[in-house]
Each structure stands twice: as C-alpha cells, then as structure tokens.
Amino acid sequence: MKNKNRSTARAFVLPALITMVMIMIVPFLYAIYITMNDVNLLENGGKFVWAGLKNFKTFFSDSRALNSVVVSVKFLVGALLLETFFGIAVSTFLDRRFRFKGIVRALIIVPMFMTPVVSGLIWRAFFDPHAGIVSYIYQLIFHHKLDMLGSTSSALWALIIVDMWQWTPFMILLIMASLDGLSEDAVEAAKVEGASELQIITRVKIPMIKPTIYMAMMIRAIDALKIFDAIFVMTKGGPGSATETMNMYSYVVGFNFYRIGYATTISFIFTIVVTIVLSKLMQKNNSL
C-alpha cells in the first residue's frame, strides 16, 4: 500500500518536475553552451564556432563591459539606499492616526502601477532641458538650464530619481504593513520610560522590523540590477556609456553588433552577480 501511495505521489510531482526542467534548467544549460561559442550573425552565417572561455576572457579585458559593471553597482547602491531611507522615513511618519490616512496610503503607491516604460517616458519629458518642468524650476533658481540626461555626471542620478519615485512606494508598503503588525506593548513601555518620538522610532520600531526591511531591500536589489526599460527609453545607455548597465550593454552587443555568444556571456556573468548579491542579502536577513 505504501509503495502504491509513493508511486501515486511521484506521478503527481513528475509533471511539475518536467516543466521546471524544461523551463529553467534546459535554457540555463543551453545558455552556458552558447557562452562557449563564438556566435556572430554577421559572420560564418551565424554558425556556432567553439571558443571555449574566449568570451569570458574578452569580458574581463573589455573596458566597456567593466564600466557596465561599475554603472550597475552605482545604480544599485544609489537607488537602494535612497529608497530604503525614504521608505523608512515616510512609513514611520504615516504610522500615526490622522484624517484621510487611507487615501494618502493609496495615493502613495500609485507610481507602482505604472510600467517602467511609461514612467521613463514621463520623466524624460520632465527632464527635457528646453520644455521640462525640472529644467524650468532649476532655471528659475540658478538662472541657467539643466540637462540632466545629457550630462555624464547627472544622467545616472536622473535614472536613480526615476527608480526612486516609482519603487519607494514598494518599500513604504512593506514597511507600513510591518509597523501595523507591531505590538503596542514595547512602544507603550518606551513612552513610560520617557523616550522621545525619535527614540521610539530608531530604538524600538526599526529594530523590530529589521527582517522586513532587509527582505524589501533584497527584492529591490534584484529589480534594480535588472533595470532596462527606463534606461532604454530615457538614455539608451548614454551619454557615452554613463548609464550603460550590464543589461543595456548586453542588449547593445546582441542586437546592435549581433555578437550573440558574447552577449549571452555578459548576461550569464550578470546572473552570477545577481546571485552573489542575493545570497549576501539573504545571509544578512537570516542572521537577524
């Protein structure tokens, strides 16, 4: 009877296992195979030419590829820190009773419902040096135009601002839900001890919701590293290569230069980077 039950259980699990292998493992192994070949659609009729580790060696000697890694890390750190800071600040500010609290909460998360392409197009219009509202306000204050997307020193900051505008509400949503679930006993005890509002926030509430904060940071880190849509519609990696992340560079290599083998190698290395970041954040979260 036990053997029959085991066979039945395996029969139910088998379709899911086959589906997972076909969807995840087979494409992953095929991607590894492509990285080992020199595949150029403009040469040799697009045939696979075995190259071994040539593509990986090319990546680590390619200054533009290494720059894309630096840009990806800068974007990740800038967006993650700002979104976490403002997420905590806004959440703790809203963690009180006031009129129209529900409406305010609903309005805050509206940017999340926009697709990255739409938000990118909207903000590209805002950053326009001739007709954009950002440049107009800047000109009123400093008496000269501001071209954030056209400057190598500010283009990446413009993208970070767009990402922060769209995804800080995600941090707020998770942190506010965690604050709503806190026990009032610890807060009341701190008040009895004479703690100020700031001390209650920094020494009671935030330490109690650290796991939620790190989980939110982990999710946002993965999304921030994968950014492509906003960059494509706003800067296309420019000016120069100031906003060219690994995703963007992989696209350029694959769809502009048709070097499929090298483009896949960049994406594969990008996957390894994401895995490392994810594992580090998970370790930090598990240690709390």
pLDDT for 286: 67
Domain locations along the chain = 55-286
pLDDT of res. 273:
79
User: What local confidence, expressed as pLDDT, does residue 278 receive?
Assistant: 75
Q: What is the pLDDT of residues 100-109, one digit of tens each?
A: 777 888 888 8
How much helix, strand and coil, in percent to the nearest 5, is found in the chain?
75, 0, 25
Give the whole-angstrom CA distance, residue 163 versus residue 66: 23
- Could you please report the per-residue DSSP string of 17-30? HHHHIIIIIHHHHH
The low-confidence residues of the chain, meaning pLDDT below 50, are: none
- pLDDT score, position 165: 94
pLDDT of residue 41: 87
Per-residue pLDDT, 275: 81
SS3 31: helix
Q: pTM score, two decimals?
A: 0.88
- pLDDT, tens digit, 9 for 90 and up, residues 115-136: 889 999 999 999 999 889 998 9
Integer Cα distance of 113 and 246 in angstroms: 26
Task: Give CA–CA dist 51/32, Å, rounded.
Answer: 12
pLDDT of 5 reads 66
Residue 146: half-sphere exposure toward Cβ, Cα within 13 Å: 21
pLDDT at 2: 56
pLDDT value for 287: 66
Task: Pick one of 3.40.50.2300, 3.40.50.150, 3.40.50.1370, 1.10.3720.10 as the CATH number of 55-286.
Answer: 1.10.3720.10
Task: Supply the pLDDT for residue 89.
Answer: 92
